[in-house]
Structure 1
Amino acid sequence: MVNVQKSAFEAFIKSQNEIIEGLKSRLSQFETKYSVLLVENESLSKRVAEFEKNEKSNVNGPKLFSDLFKKNKSENSTETNIINAIRIEQTESEKKNKETVDEISNTIGFDKNKIKFIKRLKRKDTSVTSTPILVELSDKNDKFEILKKANELNKTLIAKRNELNGKNDIQESGFRYCKYNPVNVDQMSKNFQNISNSISRLKCWYTIASSLDNKMDIFVSELLIVEPNIALISETWFRQNSITMIRGYNLFKKNRAGRGGGVCIYVKKGIEVFDVIIPNLIDDFVEHVLCSIHNGEDKILVGCIYRPPESSNEINVRINLLLAEA
Structure 2
Amino acid sequence: MPTYNFAAGPATLPQPVLEKVQAELLNFENSHMSILEISHRSPLYTHVYQAAKQNLLNLMHLDATVYDVLFLGGGASLQFTMLPLNLAHKHHRVAYINTGHWSQRAIQEAQKIPGLTVDVLASSENTDGTFTTIPEIPEIPTDTYDYLHITTNNTIMGNAYYELPDTSTPLVADISSNFLGQEYPFEKFDLMYAGAQKNLAPAGLTIVVLKKSLLDQVANLPSMLDYTAQSQKESALNTPPVFQVYVANLVLEWLKNLGGIEAIAQENQRKAQLLYNCLDNSQLFHNKVAKAYRSLMNIPFVTDSKELDAEFIHAASQAGLLNLKGHRLVGGMRASLYNAMPYAGVEALCHFIEEFERNHTN
Give your verdict on TM over 0.5: no
Q: TM-score range by the shorter chain?
A: under 0.3
Structure with more relative contact order (C-alpha pairs < 8 Å, separation 6 or more): 2
The TM-score, its normalising length taken from structure 1, stands at 0.22
User: Which is higher, the Rg of structure 1 or of structure 2?
Assistant: 1
